[in-house]
Amino acid sequence: MSHASKRRRCVLEEGSETQSVLAVVEEDTSSSSTCSSSFPSSSSSSSSSFCPLILSSPEEELNVIPGPLGPPQDPSQGLSQDPSQGPSQNPPSSFLSPTAVASPMSQSEDGSSSQKEESLSTSEALPNAESLPRNVINDKVADLVEFLLLKYRTKELTTKAEMLNVVIQDYQDHFPEIFREASECLQLAFGVDVKEVDPSDDSYVLVTTLGLTCDGMMSDGETMPKNGILIVILSMIFMEGDCVSEEKVWEVLNVMGVYDGTDHFIYGEPRELITRVLVQEQYFEYRQVPNSDPARYEFLWGPRAHAEICKMTLLEFLAKISGSDPRAFPLWYEEALRQQEERAQSGITTTDDTSAMASESSSAPSSSFCPE
Amino acid sequence: MQGNTRRTGIMTDVHRRFLQLLMTHGVLEECDVKRLQKHCYKVHDCNATIEKLEDFINNINSVLESLYIEIKKGVTEDDGRPIYALVNLATTSISKMASDFAENELDLFRKALELIIDSDTGFASSTNILNLVDQLKGKKMRKKEAEHVLQKFVQSKWLIEKEGEFTLHGRAILEMDQYIRETYPDAVKVCNICRSLLIQGQSCETCGIRMHLPCVAKYFQSNSEPHCPHCNDYWPHEVPEVFDPEKERETGMSRSNKRSLRSRQH
């Protein structure tokens, strides 16, 4: 990626390599088909069957936006489009760049935006771009995506104020636009959703929309081990209704060989993990049982669990372990259905990773979360 | 599909999960990346043929390009293993680390980095790094604490430790390439063969050019009398073996068992 390393954000020089080649959406192969991710061309545009996911402007090559593709790579990248493939043939997939590439087409309506030169034309800005140059928006979107990815990795909440302060800075008026594009990018490219947690203070959390599984390898990373114990406890809570007492949790964990106060070779110190780490990451709520004296505690599903985990998948997994069928557990089945409906209404898409979870062996849960 | 024709720019859940997991791990060796890819296919699209890794990654990169992000492939400097990391190309700082470390810890890293870059061997001794704790920005740090922080860097794969000395992990080299070149333009060393950033390597005693150990291995492969590519003088150092993933799998050698050449061959 020499082009980007040459200069931060300034890709003007690179324009010279522009070929009018589009990835995928374009069925026009007149331009060198070996040129990778290149720019909206003047060639015939197929109007994408995906609505412009990313704000697009019939932009040129230079604007390295989430929309139109970035400056062309060296042809050695060897990517070329398959002319016969239109977006309509790939319903489950989404295009990040190509769609947006397509949209400039639809914007210009006739693909006449043959922006082959490198001139940065701000006049191309769309009416709703509010006269902010496309490249500036693009830069800000890329910045915001990076910022939010960091938040995703650290599993922290963020607020609108923080985003404005750290990323958007001078372009506060354009926040909605930038935020929307960044959210779309995150969803399209990473399967990460920016969920509003609390409308009153505009706080957001970054969650995966891909469903929870282990990451497929024994590693010293934390994702896999935590998932094991996580799923076990979440299942228990699910089965009990909506909360489970701490005592019960320890009973089950003991069966798995995990004991309070004893360091476990995978989970570390279990109490720390389940009452602090996983609570902080919002997978659980850990609260005192009301009016309990001496104080007893219970676990509930946390907001992140509600967002990330599909109850139906969990149920199918549990059913499989016990060698039966989700419908054999009418109450839970109903609950899972209810969640599905709620999600469908609020437009959250979750992948059914039944195959992943159910395929894991039903033996000791802690080891079952590693398909290999 | 003919030769180069690919369905480029398509992101499916397979790719998304791959990205999420790669991000979580920070850096992965090629064998683990392949396993990861296989896992992602298994979860989301178990009937599809698994795309060749290079194409799979190029595909993803073409989509991420406009965000200044890419999956970058590098090679470990000591034994030539291919590694992959998700890298942000536009940042010219050590921002990736910023989320995990406090201000004084980041400054400690910068100090260590500077010592490593300035050194001839690519290694900075623990003592020398710890002597700089008084100069750190932010909260005051004691040497004992600094030792602990250095270990944190090793665990999160920013530094490698060998016999009390520290050098950059492949991950840091991949992620901070641009930052290093911009911050230390004069001190930075470059490999004569591949032209990329060099921290550890071998150097010619006559003309001073440097080469990465894996680059040396490839360049002098099956050459019984290696000579410097620049001045043609006899190459005095031991030529390492080219990394062979197949061989490694067969013999089941673990990384720690392998004798990796130290860089002190200047």
The mean per-residue pLDDT over the stretch A149-156 comes to: 85
Rg of chain A's alpha carbons, rounded to an integer?
A: 24
- B11 three-state secondary structure: strand
Q: Fill in the amino acid letter for A320.
A: K
Contact A142 B5 (CB under 8 A): no
Contact A146 B4 (CB under 8 A): no
Q: Which two tokens stand for residue A161?
A: 């104020």
Residue B130 is inside which H or E element, if any? helix B126-130
- What pLDDT, on the 0 to 100 scale, is given for residue A322? 75
Spell A135-172 as b/e; 16+ CB within 10 A means b. bbbbbbbbbbbbbbbbbbbeeebbeeebbbeebbeebe
Chain A interface test: which of B29, B43, B152, B157 (most A C-beta within 10 Å): B43
Residue A299 φ/ψ, nearest 5 degrees: -110, 140
Collect all residues of chain B within an 8 Å Cβ-Cβ radius of residue A359: 42
Candidate from A33, A92, A190 with C-beta closest to B12: A92
Average pLDDT of chain B to the nearest whole number: 84
- A11 three-state secondary structure: coil
Answer whether residue A34 shows pLDDT above 50: no
For residue B139, how far is the Cα from the chain centroid? 30
- Closest C-alpha among B210, B185, B183 to residue B199: B210
The mean per-residue pLDDT over the stretch B103-122 comes to: 93
Contact A189 B19 (CB under 8 A): yes
Q: A10-14, A145-149, A332-336, B234-238: which range is least confident on average?
A: A10-14
- What pLDDT, on the 0 to 100 scale, is given for residue B191? 93
Q: What pTM does this model have?
A: 0.59
CB B93 within 8 A of CB B238: no
Is B148 within 8 Å of chain A by CB? no
Q: Is the ipTM, as predicted for this complex, more than 0.90? A: no
Contact B25 A219 (CB under 8 A): yes
Distance CA A306, CA A254 (A): 26
Is B89 within 8 Å of chain A by CB? yes
Contact A150 B99 (CB under 8 A): yes
Residue A244 φ/ψ, nearest 5 degrees: -135, 145
Tokens 């060296």 — which residue?
A74
pLDDT digits (tens, 9 = 90+) for A92-122: 333 344 333 333 333 333 333 333 333 333 4
Average pLDDT of chain A to the nearest whole number: 63
Residue B162 is inside which H or E element, if any? strand B159-162
Read off the pLDDT band of A366 (50, 70, 90): very low
Contact B99 A142 (CB under 8 A): no
Spell B119-142 as b/e; 16+ CB within 10 A means b. bebbbbebeebbebbeebeeeebe
The mean per-residue pLDDT over the stretch B37-50 comes to: 82
pLDDT digits (tens, 9 = 90+) for B180-220: 988 899 999 999 999 999 999 999 999 989 999 999 999 99
Residue of chain B minimizing CA distance to A356: B43
Is B248 within 8 Å of chain A by CB? no
Shortest distance between the Cα of B223 and any Cα of chain A, in A, equals: 30
What totals of helices (H) and strands (E) does chain B contain, helices first? 10, 11
Read off the pLDDT band of B9 (50, 70, 90): low
- Closest C-alpha among A203, A205, A202, A230 to residue A215: A230
pLDDT digits (tens, 9 = 90+) for A38-76: 333 333 333 333 333 343 333 333 333 344 433 443 344
The mean per-residue pLDDT over the stretch B55-84 comes to: 91
Q: What is the interface size between A and B, counted as CB pairs within 8 Å?
A: 194
pLDDT digits (tens, 9 = 90+) for A158-214: 888 888 888 888 888 888 989 999 999 999 899 899 988 888 888 888 888 877 665
Give the count of beta carbons closer than 10 Å to the beta carbon of residue A63.
29
Q: A258-272, B124-138, B174-188: which range is least confident on average?
A: A258-272
Residue of chain A minimizing CA distance to B36: A216
Strand partners, B167: B160
Contact A96 B40 (CB under 8 A): no
